[in-house]
């Protein structure tokens, strides 16, 4: 029995040591309300709850006190009183209780954005304006006229079903200088969106390379090209050209 009583007394002493003093808890609550008040003040500026509370005090009680000094004092006192009433178990809980004071201030003075209010007012004014569209709008304003669609051409490549290339390389070249404009890999179908004449070269391993001329103003919107199998490597075809390779075969 004596041993059990000693153990209970030691446990009670440890619990008392772990318990926070009321002064520390109240200070933690005050710090919580103070820090959260600063956050609201810097984040919302004129729409902060402390500013609105200061305006209420200035309008209804006294005009000698202005700014947010008095609301800050009230906020700190409320944070300490709230921790004294609820008696939180630790400093973190007390710090959180300080946040609840600020939440209560936000409920009393809800957030109101002046920019949104001005936007709503402008929207109401816009509803009263009557606008009649001009019947000759497209005649006097070129931007309302029909915009011509960009000319494109679809190229479809046909090849034996049992023989498919690993990759197909398409090269756009200038017809006059043979300078390469663009080169890309494609599947069996691609779209030409260029607005100027081109030499289009198609090369695929195991097939004969081919070149055709694209004219955007010809009115032709679809090209169907047949790729012929060839045992000549692409490097040799590059040296001799498609026509000579065809003659050799």
| Residue 249 reports pLDDT greater than 90 | no
For residue 37, tell me if it sits in a domain. yes
For residue 130, tell me if it sits in a domain. no
pLDDT at residue 119 in the model: 45
Whether 105 and 25 share a structural domain: yes
pLDDT grade for 71, boundaries at 50, 70 and 90: confident
How many domains is the chain built from? Answer: 2
For residue 42, tell me if it sits in a domain. yes
For residue 138, tell me if it sits in a domain. no
Boundary of a domain, candidates 95, 111, 127: 111
Whether 25 and 75 share a structural domain: yes
What is the chain's mean pLDDT, rounded? 72
143-171 tens-digit pLDDT:
555 555 677 899 999 988 888 888 899 99
Whether 91 and 161 share a structural domain: no
| Residue 9 reports pLDDT greater than 60 | no
- Domain at 241, CATH number: 2.60.40.1120
For residue 132, tell me if it sits in a domain. no
- Domain extent at residue 169: 153-248
Boundary of a domain, candidates 78, 111, 144: 111
Whether 35 and 88 share a structural domain: yes
For residue 242, tell me if it sits in a domain. yes
pLDDT at residue 84 in the model: 75
20-45 tens-digit pLDDT:
677 777 787 777 777 777 777 676 66
181-208 tens-digit pLDDT:
999 999 889 999 988 999 999 999 889 8
Tell me if 160 sits within 8 A of 170, measured CB to CB.
Answer: no
Whether 87 and 163 share a structural domain: no
Of the candidates 49, 104, 43, the one whose C-alpha atom is nearest the C-alpha of residue 78 is 104
Whether 88 and 29 share a structural domain: yes
110-115 CB contacts, 8 Å cutoff, 24+ apart: 111/44, 111/47, 112/47, 113/47, 114/46, 114/47
For residue 179, tell me if it sits in a domain. yes
Give me the phi and psi of 114, to 5 degrees please: -65, -35
- What's the pTM value of the predicted model, to 2 decimals? 0.40
Whether 88 and 30 share a structural domain: yes
Whether 164 and 237 share a structural domain: yes
In whole angstroms, give the CA distance from residue 241 to residue 232: 11
Boundary of a domain, candidates 59, 79, 111: 111
Write out the two tokens for 56. Answer: 């209420």
Mean pLDDT of 104-109: 59
For residue 233, tell me if it sits in a domain. yes
Which SS3 state, helix, strand or coil, does residue 105 take?
helix
In whole angstroms, give the CA distance from residue 31 to residue 97: 10
């Amino acid at each position: 029995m004596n041993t059990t009583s000693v153990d209970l007394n030691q446990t009670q002493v440890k619990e008392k040591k772990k318990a926070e003093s009321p002064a520390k808890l109240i200070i933690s609550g005050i710090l919580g309300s103070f820090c959260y008040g600063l956050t609201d003040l810097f984040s919302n500026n004129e729409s902060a709850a402390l500013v609105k509370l200061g305006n209420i005090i200035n309008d209804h009680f006294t005009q000698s006190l202005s700014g947010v000094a008095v609301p800050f004092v009230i906020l700190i006192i409320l944070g300490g009183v709230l921790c004294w009433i609820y008696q939180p178990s630790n400093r973190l809980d007390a710090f959180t209780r300080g946040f609840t004071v600020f939440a209560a201030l936000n409920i009393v003075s809800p957030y109101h954005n002046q920019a949104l209010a001005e936007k709503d007012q402008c929207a109401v004014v816009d509803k009263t304006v009557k606008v009649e569209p001009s019947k000759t709008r497209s005649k006097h304003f070129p931007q309302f006229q029909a915009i011509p669609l960009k000319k494109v051409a679809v190229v479809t490549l046909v090849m034996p079903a049992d023989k498919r290339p690993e990759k197909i390389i398409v090269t756009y070249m200038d017809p006059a200088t043979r300078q390469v404009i663009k080169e890309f890999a494609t599947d069996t179908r691609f779209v030409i969106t260029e607005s100027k004449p081109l030499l289009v070269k198609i090369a695929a391993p195991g097939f004969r390379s081919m070149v055709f001329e694209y004219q955007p103003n010809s009115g032709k919107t679809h090209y169907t090209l047949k790729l012929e199998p060839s045992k000549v490597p692409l490097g040799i075809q590059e040296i001799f050209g498609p026509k000579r390779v065809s003659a050799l075969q």
